[in-house]
Each structure stands twice: as structure tokens, then as C-alpha cells.
Amino acid sequence: MAVSGAPDPAATQAQFPGMTWIPGGSFLMGSNSFYPEERPVRRVEVDGFWIDRTPVTNEEFAAFVKQTAYVTVAERPLNPDAYPGANPEMLEPGSLVFQRTEGPVPLDNWMLWWRWTPGACWRHPKGPRSHVRDLKGHPVVHVAYEDAEAYARWAGKEIPSEAEWERAARGGLEGAAFTWGDVPVPDGRVMANTWEGRFPWENTLADGYFWTSPVGSFPANGYGLYDMAGNVWEWTCDWFAASHPEDPSKPCCTPKNPRGGLLEASYDACQPRVKIPRKVLKGGSHLCAPNYCLRYRPAARSPQMVDTGMSHIGFRCVVRSGASPQP
């Protein structure tokens, strides 16, 4: 794996608290061994950047909201024009919350385990009767893309690209299936907060958690980053495409700082009346299970409508080479 680049000499760790420098260089992005949208494997190159060592926590997001009085998408009424034919009750402020089923169900119908819950938001992650006061160290959830961007701007940071995120998640391991290597549970050690058992009804809790876990509860990867697998999905700034885009104008060259697909092509073809673009999520979550969603891997990716937060979606931020976060 080619490696190059170093942090700006003027940029010390004190200037980037809670962040880690990821050296620029090339790596193999994607996988040919799992889901179609991860193909093809290709070598890409990114410049060096700083990245948060953990997902943004409830405590950190609360500080942002306190200073700015920001109101998240889940706390606002939905625009009926964006959801033609929607039940008026579904337009109330709220978000999607996972509900475990009582037994086995068909795995091709996500509505059997996701419930639109009025009042659910980052403050109330499981619904209006829950609260984050005891979850300060857990990753913030129910954040739509614009919420993540608003926090990043406030912090003087940005949302990572898919290539940056995957480079960081791999931790220096070239082509490994997981952030820690190729063995799912090395020496019997659970390495991430994922779903153990038969999703969406049986969870053995081998990792000790049914919902999110405090950030940093599982081993760091080779770059010292936590929760790059499982816990919560994380936003990237790239528009989703059904496969990694090729660059026909440069068939012999390694793409540098590649970006995703086109906004217009990111719409869900299964919902032609809903013109809401989708970004790429990375990392998988505590709901990922081998029998349904083996996506707690660096190469894994999933589309998400930009206006939709859920109880298993969070984010982390980057500062790109040559930039400095605001004080």
C-alpha cells in the first residue's frame, strides 16, 4: 500500500483535539466478495486528512445545539410536497426507530422492524419517552445529512468523502474484509457492536449491547480510530451510485480524491415519485447481522435519503490537509 503525506508542521495534535491524522496515499477501495454495490475493487488515492477518532457523541452535539439553537430535521414538520400521498400523521416531527420483531419475518420488508415514531429525535432516540441524559458518551443518532453538515460547519470541519472514510476505516490493512483483519471474531473476541443472532428478532448480546454503545467501547483499528465498524452508520458527503464510478477518461491512472455519483442519479429508482437524493453511508451499525446485512466492513456502503435520520445513523468529521478547525 502506497503511503505519502504528513500533517502540516504547524498543525499539532493540540490544534486537532480528538482527531487523528490519516496519511495520504493509495489503497484498494471496494470489494468483489460481498454485495454488488461494493464492486469493482479499484486503487484510489487520497490526500492526507484529520478525522475524528470517534463518531460525534450526544454530549458534543448537545454543545452545538446549545450554542446555536439549531433544530434538527427530525424536530421539524415534514414538507407534504416532498412526500406525495403520505399519511398526514407521517408528516409530524419524528424519525424512524428500530422495533425488534417477536419472531422470524421476511427479510425483504424493512417496514416490519422500522416504525415511524413521532417525537423521536436526537434528544429522544427511542421515542418521546426516552432521553439522552444517560447517553452522553453514545453516538448521536437521528441526524439527517444537513444536521451533520451544520454541526461540521460549526466545528470548522467537514463530512468525509466515501474514499476518505474507507481509507481511514481500513487502518492500514490492504484489502482486509474487516477493520481488524479477515476473521470475523478473532480468538473469540467480539470487535464491534453488531447484531449477534438472527435478525431482526434474536439478539444474543454477545457484544453486551442491544442499542448503541459508548464510543470507544471496542478495539481501535490500526489508525487508532474507534467504531469504524458497527455501532452507527456514518454519513459521507458523496452522492450514492449503484457501483463505484469509473473514470473512462483516465483508464490507466489511479483516481485521486475520487467523489461519488451524480445527484440526479442518486434518487431511488424504486420510488420514482420521491425526488430526494441519497448520500453514501459507511460502517454498518449495531443492527447489522450476517443473515441480513453483513455491512460492518470498510468496503460496505448503503444509500440514505438526505432528509432521513434513523435510530442507527450518526457521523464523524474530517479536516482536510492545509485547513485548520475553528477555535
Give the span between the Cα atoms of 252 and 247, in whole angstroms: 10
pLDDT, tens digit, 9 for 90 and up, residues 95-104: 999 999 999 9
pLDDT, tens digit, 9 for 90 and up, residues 107-134: 999 999 999 999 999 999 999 999 999 9
For the whole model, what pTM was predicted? 0.91
CATH of domain 13-320: 3.90.1580.10
Give the span between the Cα atoms of 191 and 218, in whole angstroms: 6
pLDDT, tens digit, 9 for 90 and up, residues 34-65: 999 999 999 999 999 999 999 999 999 999 99
Query: Does residue 93 sit in helix, strand or coil?
Result: coil
Domain ranges of the chain: 13-320
Q: How is 180-231 classified by DSSP, letter by letter?
A: TBS-SSGGG---SB---SSTTT----TTS-SS---TT-S---TTS---SSBS
Q: Quick one: DSSP state of residue 181?
A: B
pLDDT, tens digit, 9 for 90 and up, residues 275-298: 899 999 999 999 999 999 999 999
Give the span between the Cα atoms of 11 and 322, in whole angstroms: 9
- Asked if the model's pLDDT at residue 325 lies above 50, the reply is no
- Residue 322 pLDDT class (50, 70, 90 cuts): low
